[in-house]
Amino acid sequence: MGEIRQSYLVAAASAVTLLRDPAVAAAWDKPSALTEFSIGGLAGHLAHQLVRVRDVLVPNGRIEEPIELLEHYSRSPWVQAGLDHESNVSIRRGGQAAAADGAAALADRAQGFLDTQSAALPAEPADRVVDLPWAGWTLRLDDFLLTRLVELVVHSDDLAASVGLETPELPSSVIDPVVEMLARLAVYRHGPTAVIRTLSRAERAPATISAF
């Protein structure tokens, strides 16, 4: 099995463990570290990354040339949209809907998806292309899994910070591709000079080089 597929499964397993932490259930209805997300809604959004993988693994007969990852992010409206943009409102609604049955039910569902994907991903062809019906384009499976890896790592940190837990420790096989992807996005969005200055010259650093 490819490295990205294994890294995704490691990050997904870590996320399920975090979802089961009693601190998450205890704070379920409280505000999270993300604006306009409750703890439960953020947990639902974290778990939804496994739902997305489940959805794309089901062939729907649509075969197109896959686009590259930077184009995927540039086409996605949520990346630079404000909190009130429909894309971000929809994301928050989805998280709340996923959280409706409570922490234990959400974690159980996520575990079920993880178990199924742990068996399915090794059998997928190396060149598998998957359709993203909610987006309207296709990606290579491993590229799509990298996008989910980024989401799992970033939102696991968000959820842990929201309930006063340490950010889950993950191996370099998980962290390195996430850092690389975020750096590529930061350069794409802000330009190389801004990123270089932020990493090397604090006195000339811009206000932000956030990837999103």
**Cα dihedral: 180, 82, 19, 38 (round 10):** 160
Q: What is residue 135's predicted lDDT score, i.e. its pLDDT?
A: 86
What tens digit of pLDDT does each residue of 79-132 get?
Answer: 665 666 666 677 778 788 888 999 999 999 999 999 999 999 999 999 999 999
Count other C-beta atoms under 10 Å from residue 212's C-beta: 14
pLDDT for the residue numbered 211: 82
pLDDT value at residue 88 = 63
Burial class (CB within 10 angstroms; exposed 0-12, middle 13-18, buried 19+) of 136: exposed
What distance, in Å, lies between the first and last C-alpha atoms of the chain? Answer: 30
User: What pLDDT, on the 0 to 100 scale, is given for residue 35?
Assistant: 83
In the chain, the domains with their CATH numbers are 3-167 (1.20.120.450)
pLDDT at residue 173, as a whole number: 97
Residue among 182, 163, 156, 185 nearest 11 (CA): 156
Residues of the chain with pLDDT under 50: none
